[in-house]
Amino acid sequence: MTARKAAGSGKSKRTISIRQVRSGIGFDKTQKATLRALGLVKIGRVRTFPDNPAIRGMAAAISHLVIIEKD
């Protein structure tokens, strides 16, 4: 049998919350696609993601449409 780690042990994962504050209407189709890929389809929608370079890059590409909050 293998030993299991306790649920709370180990390194805690950092997360970021991304809130959509502006519509994607009138912006480039790649920016709209980035919003949809992040699961942001309506103004006011908030999604939480692991804090990694891929998510930060996507958020930076649409920084004029969202607010990034560290958790």
Fold of 15-70: Ribosomal Protein L30; Chain: A, (3.30.1390)
For the chain, report the end-to-end CA distance as a whole number of angstroms. 36
pLDDT of residue 11: 62
- All structural domains of the chain with their residue ranges: 15-70
User: How far is Cα 20 from Cα 58, in angstroms, rounded to an integer?
Assistant: 13
pLDDT of residue 9: 52
pLDDT at 2 over 70: no
pLDDT digits (tens, 9 = 90+) for 20-59: 999 999 999 999 999 999 999 999 999 999 999 999 999 9
Instruction: Using DSSP, state whether 64 is helix, strand or coil.
Output: coil
